[in-house]
Every structure is written in C-alpha cells, then in structure tokens.
Structure 1
Amino acid sequence: MSEKIQMGVRRFGRVNWLGTWTLTRREIKRFMNVWSQTVMAPLINAGLFLMIFTIAIGSQRGDVMGVPFMTFLAPGILTMTVIQSAFANTSSSLASAKVQGNIVDTLMPPLSAGELVTGYLGGAIARGGLVAVVIAVGAAVFLGVGLQNPIWVLIFVLLGSILMGGLGMIAGIFANKFDQLSAISNFLVTPLAFLSGTFYSIEALPPFMQTLSHANPFFYIIDGVRFGMIGVSDSSPWIGLLVVGAACIVVVSICLRWMHTGYRLKA
C-alpha cells in the first residue's frame, strides 16, 4: 500500500521546484518570443539617448565627477533601461493575464505564494540581466566603458531587477485595465527613474532636491551600478546596498501577501 500523505505536506516536497522553474521559464519565453521589442528596442533607445546627448552637448560639456560626461552617462542609461524592463516584464504579464481572463491558469497549479513570486521575479531578473549585458557590451565597444568592479554591478542589477519586478507585480495586480498600468508607469516609474541621477550628479542639485533624491531607491540603484562600472558615485555603495535591500524586502513582502490572499486576482 502506498504511504498516506500527511496533512499539509505536498507530494512534491516543501518546494515545488519544477513548478517554480516552469513559471520562470514561461516568463522568459514570453519576452524572448518578442525579443525585438523586449531586448532590441531597449538597446536602440539607449543608443539614441547617448547619440542625442553626444550631438546636443558633445565636447562642450565638461567632466562630471572627474570623468567624461558620456562615460558618466552610460551607467545611468544602462540602469534606467534595466529597471524599466524588469518592471514591464512582471506588470505586463500579470495585467495581460487579468484582462484576458486566464490568470486562473497561473493560480490553479499547486504553487505557493512564494513560488509564484519567485517565478515572476525570475523572469524579471532574466530580462533585466539580459538587457544589462547587451547595453554593457555596447558601452564597452563604442564608449570604452568597462567594469571596474563587476561584483557591485551584478549586485545592483540583481537588486534593481528584484525591486522593479516586485513593483511591476504590485502594479499588475492592482491594475484592472492597461490604462491604469500605463498611468502607473508614466506618472510614477518613469519620473522616478529620470529624476534619480541618470543624467546628472545630484551634487548639482539644490540641498532640498538632494534630500529628495536620497529618499529615492532608484537613485541608489543607478549610483551603485555607476560605482561598479566607472568607480565614481554620489554616495557609498554600502548605503545603497542597505537602502535597496530594505526596499526589496518591503516590496517582495507585499507581493507575497497579495499572492497569498489573492487580492484583486480572484473573482
């Protein structure tokens, strides 16, 4: 006779590794099926930003924090593209599933809230990391910008993808229409990304604006990647690690709670 399964113990163990990996793989295949939009388009946008600043400012702009302006700009463009891609991956996936009415296909399998969150974040990390690699290669080839400390770059790209993937999950769960999702992206994510030291050092800002920038987790993600790539930053990467890590814990905790309760997911 087969052994009875104890109450509360799933037959595939404490963690459904196969189910979690399947969800992650689905999220990766989802954005890779339209790679021209999800990978190539961010690369082109990053290149356009750099080209426009080169043409508009060029050699007229002096050094920033002791490095050429285009060298200073490259890490900011890379990080901004990474966080926008990670946010778009989870938010569009959840919002599309809700609008199309097939979110039940994700909720029905034997996956816990933690496994669901891990699967979605795995897709966001993969997309953010792939975009980071592509843009970093372009920056190295065309601008000569390398990686002075790859470990810090890896840490902040990973944490930035987790934070923005989590925020994307929150936005995707909360939004019932694509219009609501677009509003969150246009009026919250994009302004915070642009006003976080992407194109400038916050030392050039008035004291009040500097204080606001230090309250923006996006600033620490961009600043940390910049430190890893070119060795200069507006703040200590250790402080950035603490702030971004804490923000990730808060955001992921909200995702776990909403997935566990089925908030705005279950009819």
Structure 2
Amino acid sequence: MENVIGHVNWIGLWTIIRREMQRLLRVPIQAFVAPWLSALMFIFIFGYVVGPRIATIGGHKYLQFVLPGILMMNVVNAAFLQATSQVYFQRFMKFVEEALVAPLSYVEMIVGTLAAVVFRTAATAVGILIIAAVFGGVQVVSVVEFMFWVVIVSGIFGLLGIVIGLWAKSFEQLSALNIFFITPLSFVGGVFNTVEMLPPFLRWLAWGNPFFYFINGLRHSMIGFNEAPEPLGALLSLAMLAILSVWVWRLFSVGYGLRE
C-alpha cells in the first residue's frame, strides 16, 4: 500500500474530513435527531411499557439489558448510512474526480471517509446514552471496552458502506443490504433476548450471527453480562475489520466504481 507509513498529506486528509463534517452538520435531523427519536421510542416502550412486566434478565432490568442492543443497532445504521451516502454522492456529483486527481493516497481517502463515520456514530451513541439516562437505564462497566466496540463496529460498517457506495448504481441499491441483511440479522442478534430464550434448534441463528458478538460485546461493556467468550467476539471483529480494509483499499486501487 503506497504512502501508508511514509509521508501523510495532513492538509488533504483534514480537507476531506472537514468537508464531510460540514455536509453532515447540514442535515442534523436526518443524521442525529432521527436515530435519537427512534431510540427514544424503543427505550420508552421497553423501559416503561414492557419492562415492568418482564422479570430481570441476567440479574438486570429489562431496559438495561436491551439498551446495548438498541444502541448497537443505531451505531450500525449510522455507520453504514453515512459511508454509503458519502461515497455514492461523491460519485453522483462527480466530487470523487477531484479527490482522484488530488495528491492523496487511497489510504488517506479511506481514512477521511471513516473519520466522518466514526464522528456520526459516536454522536449517535452519546445522544442515546443521554436519553437513556433520563429513564435510568444507563450503566457502563468499562468505558474502554465500550469505546472499542463503538469504534470497531463503526469501522466495519463504514468500510462495508464504502463497498456498497462504490457498487450501487441507484438509490434503491444503496438500501438493499440494509433491508435484506443488516436489519434482519440485528433483530435476531440478541437485542431483545438471550440465547437461552431461543428454542434449541434456533440457537445457531445467534452463534452464527456476527451481530450477536457485536451486541454481546457492547452489553458486556455496559452491564457486565456476557453469553460468549469475549476474546472470540473481539478477534472476529478485528478480523472482519482487517479483511474489509484490504478489500476497500483494493477496490480503490483498481478504480472500482470510481473511474467510470
């Protein structure tokens, strides 16, 4: 990979980050308010409507149990939507041509894109924590572990969003992965239930679902509840991040979706 360890164009990198931050802040309702309101509805329903009627799970209130899953769902959606829209609109508006002729390496272009992704997901996560605090459902056992899962999952779905943004030929294709894979897998990844609550013949849906390890890791960082070996989830996530990083860099290097 060229220019990875050597000279870094800090001015160009900051220009990419600043441009995407400004674009993001021009649509605060879509970027921040919408996921906060969605999380508020989930927290209200499960905290005050359903929660009091359900016994504790793993020694925790139901709201405390489901909050990590709700937060992770919003982190995944924020990261994926930010990356797909960012890359697709650069292609659609021909902004990507300016970046290609600029003195920027592919790594710098990817890092600049992911910086905006992490900013959006971090702001989304903090907003949800503040909302949940009003309902008395916030507990964070390990801040470092919490930050690890938010950043790593943001990177995974930011990179996946870049791939879809390069591949998509229409707005409809941008949402295909989200509709048919991300949303269904997240709902069966242990957001609202433990693995033991599933029928034995369906538990493979959890163990074979990467979302289960994301949610389980975040839940462990928040309330200390764990259903899978923590190193397994972390290694799986880091492996996915590494594979997607190389894949995205390769797509940039061959000009896939960029030089059309």
Percent of pairs identical after alignment?
35
* Residue of structure 2 equivalent to 1:37: 30
CA-CA distance at 1:108 after TM superposition: 2.1
Q: Does 1:21 align with 2:18?
A: no
Select the residue among 75, 81, 89 that pairs with 1:88. 81
Instruction: Name which of structure 1's ranges 173-182 and 186-195 shifts more when overlaid on structure 2.
Output: 186-195
Q: Does 1:100 align with 2:93?
A: yes
After superposition, the C-alpha distances for 1:145-167 in whole angstroms (9 at most, x for unaligned) are: 22111111010001010001011
Larger Rg, first or second structure (1 or 2): 1
Residue pairs, 1:230-245, within 5 angstroms: 230-245=223-238
CA-CA distance at 1:93 after TM superposition: 0.9
**What TM-score, normalized by structure 2, do the two folds share?**
0.92
- C-alpha RMSD over aligned residues: 1.8
Question: Is the contact between residue 69 and residue 219 of structure 2 (CA under 8 Å) also seen in structure 1?
Answer: yes
* Residue of structure 2 equivalent to 1:192: 185
Q: Does 1:121 align with 2:124?
A: no
Q: Give the residue type in structure 1 aligned to 2:15.
A: T
**What TM-score, normalized by structure 1, do the two folds share?**
0.90
* Residue of structure 2 equivalent to 1:4: none
CA-CA distance at 1:203 after TM superposition: 2.2
Select the residue among 148, 152, 159 that pairs with 1:159. 152
Question: Is the contact between residue 75 and residue 124 of structure 2 (CA under 8 Å) also seen in structure 1?
Answer: yes
Cα distance in 2 for partners of 1:192, 1:226 equals: 17
CA-CA distance at 1:48 after TM superposition: 0.7
Question: For this pair of structures, how many residues does the alignment match?
Answer: 257
Question: Is the contact between residue 128 and residue 157 of structure 1 (CA under 8 Å) also seen in structure 2?
Answer: yes
* Residue of structure 2 equivalent to 1:256: 249
Residue pairs, 1:65-76, within 5 angstroms: 65-76=58-69
CA-CA distance at 1:55 after TM superposition: 5.6
After superposition, the C-alpha distances for 1:50-83 in whole angstroms (9 at most, x for unaligned) are: 2233465232211112211111011111111011
Cα distance in 2 for partners of 1:199, 1:103 equals: 41
* Residue of structure 1 equivalent to 2:142: 149
Cα distance in 1 for partners of 2:11, 2:186 equals: 35
Q: Which runs of 5+ in 2 are unaligned?
A: none
Structure 1 58/218 Cα, relative in aligned 2: closer, same or farther at 3 Å? closer
